[in-house]
Chains A and B, each alone.
Chain A
Amino acid sequence: MAPESSAALAAPARGFDAFRPLAGLLIAVLAALVALPFFWLCWYALTDAKGAFTTANFIALATDPTMTKPFVLALAMAACVSALSCAIAAPLAWLVARTDMPGRGAVRALVMASYVTPPFLGAVAWEFLAAPNSGLINQAWRWAFDLDPFDALVDIYTFEGLVFVIACYTFPYVFTLVATALDRVPTDLEEASAILGARGARTLSRVTMPLVLPALLAGALIAFLQALTMFGSPAILAMPAGFHVITTKIWSLFQYPPRLGLAAAASFPLLIITILLLRGQAWLLGRGNYAVVGGKSGRARPTKLGAWRWPAAGFAGIVLGLTVALPYLALLKTALTSEVAGPLTLDSLTLHNFHFVLFELSSTRLALRNTFLLGFGAATIGVVIALAAAWLVARGKSRLTGALGFLAMAPVAIPGVVLGVALFLSYSRPPLQLYGTLWILLIAFLTIEMPAGYQQFASALRGLHPELEEASRILGASRLTVLRQITAPLLRANIVAAWCFIFIGAIRELSATILLTTSNTKLVSVIIYDLNESGDLGAISVLGILLLVITFAVVAVANRLPVLGGPPQARG
């Protein structure tokens, strides 16, 4: 690699510093991950079957109502999801972070449980609960009020139902961001406000809210993008409701006769919307000086809720009941009964579904193995790349490292289903014939999850003063030694968090993988999708429960393991 010699010159007195070559290598890897799929996407969108230039795909995209309608619906859906997520998450985050509401710790833990739940599994669980006729909630409703069959309280197969179900699994993003921001609001500002005579509500609206607004905006944006690019939940709920959103429409373009060019072209509006929104967010945040300067300034004084303590806990209980407790119970009930819609009695109790999934369904074991192998692989490799990239960007000052930061964040603008299309187009032909192997899935997971991992480290490194690293450098350590021996152990908590994020992300992923799996490279998410298509609800529940149990176990173990982030004794 070319920069090696100059890197050696730039290195400190002792030893070889691999800083520059490492930066070059990382840029090459990230560029390949991002640029290659993007190239093929453009190629397919702009050429016809004979390879000649054409704009026919974009014209069809703009004029064909079966293409424009899904776009409008998807945008409307994303806006509603974003608003609903904020409406749920912001008060909940405030209650948890800044009040004396009972059960705050449990609420935080359960919101994480909701995050771990794959959205497609949540959608299936909500079918069990709120399908207009067979849904358990509607059955209970009819039973309680002695109503006719087919009188329904709620119908999940509607636009509103879809918005609700997606919001159930996107609000944790908003919650986490806002709760963290509230944790960081310096209490001295709030106290100053109180001393100057402001009441609680006034302090909240004039001091606290403006300080957490950037986090709320960021959360709203993530929720919007998540909903816009989500495939699993719409695939399960939108079709019975009789409409397409853009992701399911793109997916349908892959059915025979496939229209790859149109699918590729349909990806561009999604890309452009994402980039515009990210720009808009950066502009908004850059305009006002929102940064909290004070750093840590003692523990926040919780607001006393008084008589409102229990209603507040009730609100939290309802939110978690709807997003975690009810869906999980519905899955468990369906897994254990022979009749999905029937009541759970001793007679209908059966282990048949477990037996079917574990011993009769031929793909179960392979899919479980693949899923967790890829989860581990993507999380481990992803953490290494993301940490190295974030560290190079934070500590290096060259233009090269700036490019690195851009590349690491770029995948955020690529919706999963688009990435699936692009990766398939990139890696299904020589010389990079990876389709049909686990490698293409590993690449997909790494690409999709890179921004999450990178952002985790980038923000952590901003809060980590470089003086410890500088001391180590002065004592003669190379920059890589510093990263390994000083920075990584200090970031242990972030490393574990990033690892879990990527791991869970890989388990949850369906939009890109649905196009990239083959019979030898099956994943649990894809099997669940296929089983849902044929209506095998008991089997889905069993697989879903297995997936959740193993995921929780892995996350719990990862948080207790001393080796991640460097064992304590290595710090000597």
Chain B
Amino acid sequence: MRSTHSRQANHALATALAALLVAPCAARAQSAGTYEVTPELIAAAEKEGKVVWYTSADTEVVERLANDFHAKYPKIEVSTERSGAERNFQRINQEYGSDLHVVDIYEASDAVQFPIFKRAGWLAKSLPAEVVKLWPKNGVDPDGEFATARANLSVIAYNTKFIKPADAPTSLASLLDPKWRGKMVKAHPGYSGTIMTATYVISHALGWDYFEKLGHQRVMQVQSSSDPPKKLALGERPVMADGNEYNIHILAEKGVPVVPVYAPEGTPFVPGNAAILKDAPHPNAAKLYFAYIYSLEGQQGLSDVGGLRSLHPGVKEKAGRVPLSQIKLLESDPVALEKEIETIKQKYEQYFGT
């Protein structure tokens, strides 16, 4: 629980950020790559019959999104390749390095990757009209090559079966308390885009000193940011030092006794972007599925079932979740982050051993 004082202190900033996130940019000109879902597009997509996407969101969430789409367009199979953002990045680099173009849509929680793809000329200038019209400015690439398909927070969380709310960690700093030694789980920046972003923003907000001390806490290290919430639910560790907020939402709404904590130091905000590849083997099916992901139906599903945050202004958040506007967010700068990746990995290995 945060103190009233810090809540007030954060409120102004949170409101400003939320305004930035939610205010639609009305005056954006429709660029050449903007498209609508037309009967012709649907027919062409059905003729292709398949769409392949790489994503780093949780397995059940993405398989459900894909199955909902398939139920709507039964003639189109969705092939989902789910893995950590860094793993998928490695894979697409291996593939494109070998001139293999098997993937249509790429989605990842690591915002750094998209400017890199853009520079490499791999992305199509192609966005659904709905995105161009409704998305806030910082959720869309100015050149129309990618947009935020989902947003995620990396949060602290705990299992109430083992920890009373009064004893629970309240802040990032409180995780350094010796009583949490051997009791925490966290994900790895080398494998998870979410955690790479989170490590970057926290190292800037609190300094590397924080991670050095956290490294002495015998933290259980897992790879994907989807995993700490699951280890928490299992009771393998009672506290999660970082990990996906949306998995905590999903678990909590299923009745698993897990609770997120929004640290007064700030909570890392992790935009998950998506793009259509220029050399997509199924360009029309890609456009149709891409539009579905950003549609109100798709986004509401990602929010309801997936527990994710959406930039679609029409999406209604479920009751019981803390609204984004009340959370102090730590936002990252993908271009600056890219230059620091090597340092982050090195420091991290130094402090945590892997």
Contact = CB atoms under 8 A, between A and B. Distances in A.
B42 interface: no
A105 B219 CA distance: 45
A433 B54 contact: no
B191 A133 contact: no
B90 A254 contact: yes
A530 B95 contact: no
A363 B81 contact: yes
Contacts of B113: 256
A240 B341 CA distance: 22
Interface in A250-307: 252, 254-258
Interface string B79-120: 111111011011101110111101100000000010000000
Contacts of B223: 239, 533
Interface string B326-354: 00000000000000011001100110111
B305 to A, nearest CB: 13
A534 B59 contact: yes
A435 B234 contact: no
A534 B354 contact: no
Interface in B218-257: 218-224, 226-227, 229-231, 234-238
A256 B93 contact: yes
A157 B220 CA distance: 9
Contact of B79 (A131, A258, A363): A363
Contacts of A519: 52, 54, 79, 81, 102-103
Interface in B259-293: none
A459 interface: no
A131 B237 CA distance: 10
A536 interface: yes
B221 A436 contact: no
A22 B80 CA distance: 45
A255 B103 CA distance: 19
Interface stretch (A164-172, A202-210, A217-225, A354-362): A354-362
A126 B182 CA distance: 20
B241 to A, nearest CB: 13
Contacts of A134: 231, 234-236
Contacts of B183: 150
A243 interface: yes
B297 interface: no
B63 interface: yes
B220 A429 contact: no
Contacts of B234: 131, 133-134, 340-341
B66 interface: yes
Contacts of B190: 252, 255
A558 to B, nearest CB: 32
A252 B192 CA distance: 12
Interface string A424-439: 1000110001011000
Interface string A308-328: 000000000000000000000
A479 interface: no
B58 interface: yes
B60 interface: yes
A438 to B, nearest CB: 13
Contacts of B77: 362
Contacts of B66: 362
B79 A362 contact: yes
Among A157, A252, A255, A436: residue with most chain B CB under 10 A = A255
Residue in B77, B79, B229, B354 whose Cβ sees the most chain A Cβ within 10 Å: B354
A428 B98 contact: yes
A240 B52 contact: no
Interface string A485-501: 00000000000000000
Interface string A213-256: 00000000000000000000000001111111000100010111
B353 A243 contact: yes
Contacts of B345: 255
Interface centre among B60, B78, B94, B237 (most CB of A within 10 A): B94
A531 interface: yes
B67 interface: yes
Contacts of A258: 90, 93
Interface in A116-156: 131-134, 149-150
A89 interface: no
Interface in A514-558: 515, 518-520, 530-531, 533-537, 539
A66 interface: yes
B100 A256 contact: no
A340 to B, nearest CB: 6
B63 A361 contact: yes
Contact of B100 (A248, A360, A435): A435
Interface in A450-483: none
Contacts of A436: 95, 98, 100, 102
Contacts of A243: 353-354
Contacts of A149: 162, 235
Contact of B231 (A238, A530, A535): A535
28 contacts: A133-B234, A133-B237, A134-B235, A149-B162, A239-B188, A239-B354, A242-B219, A242-B353, A243-B353, A244-B353, A254-B90, A255-B87, A256-B93, A340-B234, A356-B60, A360-B64, A362-B78, A435-B94, A435-B98, A435-B100, A519-B54, A533-B83, A533-B87, A534-B83, A534-B224, A534-B227, A536-B60, A539-B59
Across the A-B interface, the 10 shortest Cβ-Cβ residue pairs: A535-B230, A242-B353, A535-B227, A428-B98, A134-B234, A134-B236, A436-B100, A534-B226, A519-B81, A534-B224
Given A133-B237, A257-B341, A258-B90, 13 more contacts: A242-B221, A255-B89, A363-B79, A424-B94, A428-B98, A436-B98, A518-B95, A518-B100, A520-B102, A530-B82, A534-B83, A536-B59, A536-B230
